[in-house]
């Protein structure tokens, strides 16, 4: 992970995120809302450093091609920087479990007692954290991100993975 000094924050960050609309599957309104919030939160504050470069801030385009996650990174002037292809295989089980728990959570908040909702939410957050750690590991040596940015990006990857 990287230092978040004021100087780095001006260049080591994302200023735009685009999701390939063809890669997004049909999701529930709750998941769609989570995706929108994740993008907003990332743009409000993130740590995103391309290893060996300091020409940010950056724009990120996410898509799924076959069984790979595509992270196309450009500068704020749309100059191509790098495109990383990551296998989605390491995320499959986590994403499947994550969405199963999310659906249980969304159902529970309508009728379940607070203690049940809290227990389900703890499981949901645990899976989200697992996915975030996998993302950080998969990007090691390529892109350095802080844990909060990884969590929000995992939300976006999960939404893309539904269709991919």
pTM of the model: 0.85
CB atoms closer than 10 angstroms to residue 144:
17
Angle CA 48–50–51, to nearest 5: 125
The token pair that represents 33 in the structure block: 């809302």
Domain span including residue 22: 6-163
Q: Is the pLDDT of residue 24 over 80?
A: no
Query: Does 156 fall in a domain?
Result: yes
pLDDT digits (tens, 9 = 90+) for 73-126: 999 999 999 999 999 999 999 999 988 888 898 889 889 999 999 999 899 899
Q: Is the pLDDT of residue 4 over 70?
A: no
> Which run of H or E residues covers position 54?
none
* Confidence label for 25 from pLDDT (cuts 50, 70 and 90): low
Cα–Cα nearest to 87, from 16, 157, 1 = 157
Domain count, the chain: 1
Query: Does 1 fall in a domain?
Result: no
Query: Does 22 fall in a domain?
Result: yes
């Amino acid at each position: 992970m990287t230092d978040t000094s004021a100087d780095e924050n001006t260049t080591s960050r994302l200023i735009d995120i685009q999701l390939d609309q063809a890669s997004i599957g049909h999701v529930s309104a709750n998941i769609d809302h989570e995706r929108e919030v994740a993008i907003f939160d990332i743009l409000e504050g993130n740590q995103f450093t391309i290893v060996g470069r300091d020409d940010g801030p950056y724009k990120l385009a996410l898509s799924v091609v076959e069984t790979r996650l595509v992270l196309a990174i450009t500068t704020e002037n749309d100059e191509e920087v790098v495109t990383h292809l990551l296998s989605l295989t390491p995320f499959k089980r986590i994403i499947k479990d994550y969405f199963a728990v999310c659906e249980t959570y969304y159902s529970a908040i309508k009728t379940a007692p607070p203690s049940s909702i809290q227990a389900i939410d703890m499981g949901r957050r645990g899976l989200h954290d697992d996915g975030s750690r996998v993302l950080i590991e998969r990007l090691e040596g390529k892109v350095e991100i802080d844990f909060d940015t990884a969590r929000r990006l995992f939300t976006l990857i999960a939404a893309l993975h539904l269709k991919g």
